[in-house]
Amino acid sequence: MSVVLKFGGTSVASAATLEQVRTIVAQEHDLSGGLVCVVSATAGTTNALLQLAHASALPGTDVAAQCEAIRARHLTIADELVPVSHRASARECVTTLVAELQRYCESMRTLEECTPASLDAVASMGERLSSTLLSHALQATGVDCVEVRATNVIHTDSTFMQAKVDPVRTHDAASSFIVPHLTANRVVVTQGFTGSDAEGRTTTLGRGGSDASAAIIGAAIGATRIEIWTDVSGVFSADPRLVPSARPIASLSFAEIRELALYGAKVLHPDTILPAVEHDIPVLVKNTFTPADPGTVILAQPVSHGALHAVSLMRPCCVVSGSHDEVQGVASLDHLRTHLLVTGSSREHGIAVIHTPDAKHATDVAVAVTGTTLTMEQCAVVICTGPDASRVDTTANIVSKLAHLDVHGILTGVSPYSCFVVVAEADAVEALQCLHQLV
């Protein structure tokens, strides 16, 4: 039995949070037969590194001063986190890594060039720094731990900043570099977000890269589960800032997570955990700071503990309505299609809802309907997600809950997992709160 734990930037932001991570890892190691710990860079470090990379290509940049700031931050964490028995070694490793970073950046300054490959090489240093801090902290407290470079395990193409993984080579590498340690019941600490191409150059996996690393490694070693540790207690039934009664959802299907992410809910990006889903590995979302909370488990297969599991809100939007042909003409425009949420039509009439996150997009819609007979109104969309979202009785319950509001339209059957409720912008939060009562 092997388990993969992934800790995000807020979980490794400081000595205090890393100590919490160390405690979680030690406890889970006692319960599992093998543990892989994937870590992100400390909060804010990746952005600082990317800024450093861009600045390094400019003449006159004080590379040494910027590197020293990164070194000082991580040395402070080492001093506060790592027991004295291993502190000197941790400080030496931090200093060595930052010296490597500085040499690389000085070379970029000499060449006056910042390529995508250079950005990846510099950005990867954040994860290398946090992983060495955690591995020293674990070793100092008696945990049998080994640090493995992600570049030795996760093999990708050469699409820098958005690399695609080679699953066959990655599986073979994991069998060589990780599995033997798991068999010996060691904790393997490695870096999220990073890999390497066929020439050994460091690559990064793009948005949600650390979550992706956990899923990739989990699939490669045949993990029994993958745990994503973050600063929330799972996936919530609604945005708690708008719906005070929102609560973590015990379990969700991958299809529902994809719908929630697609329509604006702040959940982990579904594509990042696709390797886990394809190998039927449960993904558990947990809170580093309240580890006793049960969290949310994401499963490949459908789950059902009610017709609806979550409601989310997307705003501002525009609803365009009128003749079928004219609505279809607007909805098919290339510059609007990427923000099109949902459409519905009869033989003669149609409706299209378009997300307008800023004034430019709202203007684009207004220009598109100019000269037509279409009407355009500001609106918001409440998305009701669950295994029975498209059922007639679910729609009836939605209509009943919103009988006192002016509803522009209810679009169902477009997706088996979501029902779209179009309301006036002024009624958005009230509609969300009312529909949450059905969850």
CATH code of the domain in which 72 resides: 3.40.1160.10
206-233 pLDDT per residue, tens: 877 899 999 999 999 999 999 999 999 9
Residue 108 domain-assigned?
yes
Check which CATH number belongs to the domain holding 317 and give it.
3.30.2130.10
In a domain, residue 221? The reply is yes
Pair (227, 314) in one structural domain: no
pLDDT at residue number 268: 79
What is the rounded distance in angstroms from the CA atom of residue 328 to the CA atom of residue 25? 54
- 25 has pLDDT over 80: yes
Give residue 415's pLDDT band: very low, low, confident or very high (50, 70, 90).
confident
| Whether residue 27 is found in the same domain as residue 161 | yes
The pLDDT tens digits of the residues spanning 108-165 come to 999 999 999 999 999 999 999 999 999 999 999 999 999 999 999 999 999 999 999 9
Pair 72, 203 in one domain: yes
**Quick check: is 269 in a domain?**
no
Burial of 75-90, coded b for 16+ CB within 10 Å and e otherwise, reads bebbeebbeeebbeeb
Provide the pLDDT for residue 256.
Answer: 93
- pTM here? 0.90
Average pLDDT of the chain is 94
- 236 lies in a domain? no
Q: Has residue 247 been placed in a domain?
A: no
Which range of residues forms the domain containing residue 132? 3-231
Q: Which pLDDT tens digit goes with each residue over 320-338?
A: 999 999 999 998 898 888 8
Q: Kindly state whether residues 318 and 205 are assigned to the same domain.
A: no
**How confident is the model at residue 279, as a pLDDT?**
94
Residues 75 and 216 in one domain: yes
Last residue of a domain, one of 231, 260, 275: 231
- Mean pLDDT throughout 363-386? 94
Q: Last residue of some domain: 210, 231, 252? A: 231
pLDDT classification of 17: cutoffs 50, 70, 90 = very high
Give the least confident one: 28-37, 252-261, 415-424. 28-37
pLDDT in tens, 278-321: 999 999 999 999 999 999 999 999 888 899 999 999 999 999 99
In a domain, 333, yes or no: yes
- The pLDDT value recorded for residue 162 is 95
The average pLDDT across 406-419 equals 90
Same domain, 60 and 191: yes
Residues 210 and 357 in one domain: no
Tell whether 266 is covered by a domain: no
Residue 298 forms part of a structural domain: no
Residues 34 and 172 in one domain: yes
Picking from 204, 231, 258, the residue at the C-terminal end of a domain is 231
Share of residues in the chain with pLDDT > 70 (%): 100
Q: Which residue has the higher pLDDT, 209 or 95?
A: 95
Give the pLDDT band of residue 387 (cuts 50, 70, 90).
Answer: very high
| Res. 32: pLDDT tops 80 | no
Same domain, 332 and 201: no
25 and 161 within one domain: yes
Residues 113 and 216 in one domain: yes
Q: How confident is the model at residue 262 (pLDDT cuts 50, 70, 90)?
A: confident
Euclidean distance between CA atoms 30 and 34, whole angstroms: 9
Average pLDDT estimate for 190-215? 94
Whether 340 and 224 share a structural domain = no
Domain count, the chain: 2
CA distance 408 to 395: 14
Q: Is the model's pLDDT at 1 over the cut of 80?
A: no
